[in-house]
Amino acid sequence: MDAALPIFTMFTNIQAVIIDLDGTMLDTAPDFLVAINRMRTEFNLADLDITTIKNFVGKGSENLIHRVLAEDFAEDQIALHFDTALATYQRHYLAINGNYSGLYPHVMEGLQAMRALGLRLACVTNKPVAFALPLMEKKGLADYFDVVYGGDSFTRKKPDPVALLQVCADFDLPPSQVLAIGDSSNDAKAARAAACPVLLVPYGYNHGEAIQNVESDGIVASLLEAANLINR
């Protein structure tokens, strides 16, 4: 990213926006924390803290559970426990999905501003779609989006670009006219591979790494700021 380049000059022909869910629109780490620790209780393991969980989020449920188990088990033991741990976690997560999570500041205002600009919106998340859809409904997000794809909608998750390319096809738009917004290197890599412009927010998870070190077209404080850049 070239800091000397006026960022708004890149977004004058945007027709649609692809937005990540966890860490971009919703702070879902508290939900993950509760579900994971309930799973760990069934395995007679000690609770993990919220910082540890945030560092594990972003690459799908399978990766999350693998990293959680790796806190206590060697690789061969992880394989023995994985299926049961994943099923137990998903059972607990489904029971509390959205109860402890919350919207980040200016998410609703940003979505409203994007809609007012006539932009089509898609949500692409690595969360399983059966969890993503009810969560978005509960938090009042669902009606803003024409398309929602989860981590199990395709055979590959972000950072693979397959979901982003499908959105472009759904909207019948070239990737250059579809802006991606996310909170992690997964989002940026997927956007780059799809040839979509990409903005990142600084408040999400990004696997515990500084978002400033991720190559993108800019960092915005909120979805509303992103909408204002498109508006310019």
Nearest CA to 120 out of 150, 151, 147, 149 is that of 147
- Residue 20 annotated as catalytic: yes
Please tell me which residue in 2, 20, 47, 152 is annotated as part of the active site.
20
Q: What is the DSSP letter of 186?
A: H
Hey, is 23 helix, strand or coil? coil
Tell me the C-alpha to C-alpha distance, in Å, between residue 95 and each of 35, 51, 89, 92, 151.
9, 22, 10, 5, 19
For residue 55, what are its two tokens? 């560092």
CA 150 to CA 128: how far, in whole Å?
Answer: 5
Closest CA to 138 of 193, 98, 81: 98
Q: Which of 76, 71, 63 is nearest to 46 (CA)?
A: 71
Q: Which two tokens stand for residue 142?
A: 């669902």
Strands 102-103 and 26-27: antiparallel
The residues annotated with a catalytic role in the active site are: 20
